[in-house]
Structure 1
Amino acid sequence: MVKVLVPLYTAFEELEALSIVDLLRRAGVIVTTASITGQKLVTAGQGVNIEADTLFSDVQNEPFDCIAVPGGMGHPALGTCEPLLNLLRTYVKDQSKTVAAICAAPFYLGEAGVLDGKKATCYPALLPKLKCAERKEDPLVIDGNVITSRGPGTSFMFALALVEKLCGKAKRDEIVKQTVFSE
């Protein structure tokens, strides 16, 4: 079974996080949301309260196939969560693991050296400062085991790319049809 970790933090972007969780669960993936705040109840960027499945500290040593990081207004919290950044650095070096980040999250991954040697994109206002091998303006960038995207408007496309990477094109096509997504 494929397992994905989705870290949550105060003011994360709901559309991005829930698109990831929803589409991956439709594909049969085991998705664990984990709060990096120390509390399971997390208030997202638009004021929606979401209860994470668990705390990050309780699952940081468990094996996952992918870590998918949503962006949002609380993105600076990503830059200060060293245990998460260390785990992401480890995952990006392991080609059997996938690291995915959207919106402002790639910026903080870049700051932490997670995107060294990779092509990536992020939220347009942060793109000029993104630290990576090559900045791209594309809505979705896949470079080996790293998937990045630009923001809330690309969240469905981003989540579908995760489905394809982790479950195959046939499963992605099934989810596209099921959700009536128009490409």
Structure 2
Amino acid sequence: MEKMNFKNLFMIGMMVAGLVATTPSFAAHEEGSIKGNRFLNRKEYKEMKASMSRIERDQQRIAFYKAEFKKNKEAGLAIESHMSKKELRKAKADLKRDKKYLRIDKCDLQADQYTAIHQANLERKAAKKELYAAKKELRKDTRQGNVADLREDAALVETLTLKKELKAKQAEALKDDVYAFFIYLDDEIDEVV
């Protein structure tokens, strides 16, 4: 009997260790900044950074061509002022396009993260449902007095309880991580736009 309990405890420990080892680390961001966040390597975030740098360049181009247009207009150079005005319109159109790309990339990233949160919640609910079924089976075996099945059911309930708690922690950590990331991302976007 002691051998059976030790074996069950060993198996439960191995399962929990395996679940913990395969769990991604959440909330890896530094407090107050976006550095160190796990979303930094996402394709959408990299595209957003590229869009933000293009927006900054477009703003610099607009400022340059406005000054150029003003200087040419004051000097009475019609052709040069016309060319500066044309380049200014192009720079403004580029700025508008890059801001739109930035909004689209942010929406795509948000949609991906909300899908991941939804999936984590589904996994949490599935673990809860599985635990409920195991507890039901344990109660049934307790009522019937099935001692052999009772030990297996108790071990299964304990394992599924740990799994349910782990899934709940993962889902909550993912929500917190996504929330913090988008707060910092909005601040970063506001600095550029």
By relative contact order (CA 8 Å, sep 6+), the higher-ranking structure is: 2
Settle same-fold status: TM greater than 0.5.
no
- Structure 2-normalised TM-score? 0.21
Structure with bigger gyration radius: 2
- Structure 1-normalised TM-score? 0.22
Report which of the two has the higher share of strand: 1
